[in-house]
């Protein structure tokens, strides 16, 4: 494990502002200010698409770089025991794929399970003391409710 444990940031609702916040912070070099590794949960394809949208609108001046690892039930052991060195990257992206396409500002309840998966991963990494702390991005609780997703007690 690195000298300091990572800070984990979940981006929350993929159609929301969570990815924008991460991308803008990374562009400004703010994620490096924590003096510890930063791990982000998001859909890697949606993150790249959102970065390209923000570049097109001028909200983002340059696209931050990141290292990506796809998170599956079988890879969680590797993530729990990881010593990911992302010295030249702003952050490590734990790729949690969305089952449906992501459109900024358009909530899709088909992606609610991905939001819950981010929280489950965060909970597991914190419980296992792999990460030092969790910062949760905004999520749309009504999308979770409409998708009939129930979180276990103690996860929120």
The pLDDT value given to residue 156: 46
CB burial of 80-118 (b: ≥16 within 10 Å; e: otherwise) equals: eebebebeebbbbbbbbbbeeebeeeebbbebbbbbbbb
| 119 assigned to some structural domain | yes
Domain ranges, residue 35: 7-146
Is the model more confident about 98 or about 143? 98
| 1 assigned to some structural domain | no
Residue 127 has pLDDT above 80, yes or no: yes
Number of domains the chain contains: 1
| 151 assigned to some structural domain | no
CATH of the domain at 135: 3.40.718.10
Is the model more confident about 109 or about 74? 109
Mean pLDDT score of the chain, rounded to an integer? 85
Condensed to tens digits (0 to 9), the pLDDT of residues 25-34 reads 999 888 877 7
| 152 assigned to some structural domain | no
Average pLDDT over residues 82-99: 76
- Cα(100)–Cα(129) distance, rounded to whole angstroms? 32
| 92 assigned to some structural domain | yes
Q: What is the pTM of this model?
A: 0.84
Condensed to tens digits (0 to 9), the pLDDT of residues 29-86 reads 888 777 888 999 999 999 999 999 999 999 999 888 898 888 866 556 556 555 555 5
The pLDDT value given to residue 29: 86
């Amino acid at each position: 494990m690195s000298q300091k444990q990572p800070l984990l940031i979940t981006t929350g609702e993929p159609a929301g502002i969570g990815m924008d916040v991460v991308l803008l912070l990374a562009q400004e070099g703010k994620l490096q200010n924590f003096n510890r590794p930063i791990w982000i949960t998001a859909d890697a394809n949606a993150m790249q698409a959102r970065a390209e949208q923000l570049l097109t609108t001028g909200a983002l001046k340059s696209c931050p770089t990141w290292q990506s690892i796809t998170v599956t039930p079988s890879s969680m052991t590797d993530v729990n025991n990881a010593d990911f060195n992302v010295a030249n990257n702003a952050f490590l992206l734990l790729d949690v794929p969305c089952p449906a396409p992501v459109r900024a500002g358009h909530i899709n309840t088909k992606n609610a399970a991905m939001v819950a998966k981010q929280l489950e991963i965060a909970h597991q990494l914190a419980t296992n003391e792999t990460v030092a702390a969790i910062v949760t991005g905004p999520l749309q609780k009504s999308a979770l409710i409409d998708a009939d997703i129930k979180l276990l007690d103690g996860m929120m």
